[in-house]
A and B are shown apart, each in its own frame.
Chain A
Amino acid sequence: MTVSVVLPRALTPYAHGLGTVQLDVSCATVRDALGQVAERWPALVDRVLTEQGELRRHVNIFVGDESIAFLDGLNTPIDEGATITIVPAVSGG
């Protein structure tokens, strides 16, 4: 199984400069995929999930073109070849 996790620029330093992390392991859900990313780049996933494993408030994740906020959150299933995109939400001041 191949899944691509596309990173925002702010997080690439936590993956040694990679803009996309390729996963070649079985992942049933977005949470599984992030768990696999954390195996290699734990500091990266610290920025995406809280220590309770919840998605940070101002971070969005898309599977394909759809936000997981409108699917099943971190439990959203993913298919072979899926692209997961991590995006900072529009927020600030």
Chain B
Amino acid sequence: MNPSTLVLVGTTKGAFIFSSDDAREEWTVDGPHFPGEAVYSMAYDQRAGRSRLLVGVHSNHWGATVRFSDDLGLSWSGPERQAIRFPESSGLSLAQVWQIMPGRPEEPDVVWAGVEPAALFRSDDAGESWEPVKGLLEHEHRPRWQPGGGGLCLHTIVLDPTNRDRMAIAISTAGFYRTDDGGATWQPRNSGVRAVFLPDKYPEFGQCVHKVTHHHSRPERLFLQNHWGLYRSDDWGNSWQDVANGVPSDFGFAIQAHPHDPDTVYVIPIQSDEFRVVPGAQLRVYRTQDAGATWGALDHGLPQEHAFESVLRDGLAVDTHKQAGVYFGTRSGKLYGSNDNGERWTTLAEALPPICCVKTAVLAPS
């Protein structure tokens, strides 16, 4: 097999690398890397000719950091120092790295990291050293941000591919914020997004946004899975509309745009805040192909009874093959994949540790 496709799986007890060819029918698994450490973030960066895996690792005893490999996990290089550090003046200490995202293609050495406590870090050397984005670190709203169940985490980073000065982030529990000046200032963009747990149901900020996704060809159109609520924005978050039209629950965590069609998005609904399993114990991915006007279930090959499963916010991913692969991992350690846009599913792994994140990469021909 000539590996061309990677599925990167972060779990509570290490990282696993699944690899396959273009057909994505047979898989080999490598791992765990960093056994015993929680991996909530992974990314693959192949800009500027590099082949770099980046992993956010967290030891319950020894803290969190970012490690990387330039040989697909055969060896892991430094930095041995805790690479992401809050400045002393902040009074904050790194708890977890929730998101690692390579920057725009025209900024091939830029990598972003979203962390807990909620902050955004930028690397200008492909992930070896990091600096906090001060405009967000020193945001006037910070004292009023409250941690969600996973902690006060910045878990989502959305880049505008057409405008270097514009990007957005999401924080649980603070909401969705956007900068239009390269990170100097950040404005909350939560109009229309409900906060069921607050007396004011539509505050300026304070929403528990679980995940946001978009397609690079239509970056202003965003899809947001909220702590109750499934939304779309067509104006970079200036306003949001409810698009939970036909899902069994609008509670959930994972949401992922299709790699080629800006109107197609996948979600995995969860029954409720109090009972965080898939509705009816039927494991189903829901897909819209009309930007949220309607949603339909994808369940061929997935268990349809006694499936008390849950999928975390970064547990759903797509690859960029022409016929897209879709993958998700559950908190009970099962990894599922589809090589046909989600029409049919197979089980890639049945007994991994609880899965925190799933990411993919299609390798450039060597």
Contacts and interface: CB of A to CB of B under 8 A. Distances in A.
Contacts of A52: 86, 88, 91-93
Contacts of A11: 62
Nearest to B38: A93
A52 B92 CA distance: 7
B85 A91 contact: no
Nearest to B80: A43
B81 interface: yes
Contacts of B62: 10-11, 47-48, 56, 59, 88
Contact of B61 (A43, A51, A89): A89
A56 B61 contact: yes
Nearest to A11: B62
Contacts of A54: 93
Contacts of A10: 61-62
Interface residues of A, number: 20
B86 A51 contact: yes
A43 B60 contact: no
B93 A91 contact: no
A42 interface: yes
B88 to A, nearest CB: 7
Interface string B47-67: 000000000000111110100
B63 A47 contact: yes
Q: Is the interface of B mostly helix, strand, loop or mixed?
A: loop
B80 A51 contact: no
A46 B92 contact: no
B94 interface: yes
Interface residues of B, number: 17
A58 B60 contact: yes
A14 B81 CA distance: 9
A50 interface: yes
Contacts of B63: 46-47, 50, 56
A3 B187 CA distance: 52
A70 B93 CA distance: 24
B60 A51 contact: no
A50 B80 contact: no
A43 B63 CA distance: 11
Contact of A51 (B12, B59, B82): B82
B80 A91 contact: no
B142 to A, nearest CB: 16
Contacts of B86: 51-52
Given A10-B62, A51-B88, A52-B93, 20 more contacts: A14-B80, A42-B81, A46-B63, A46-B65, A46-B82, A47-B59, A47-B62, A48-B62, A50-B63, A50-B93, A51-B85, A52-B88, A52-B91, A52-B92, A56-B61, A58-B61, A59-B62, A91-B60, A92-B60, A93-B12
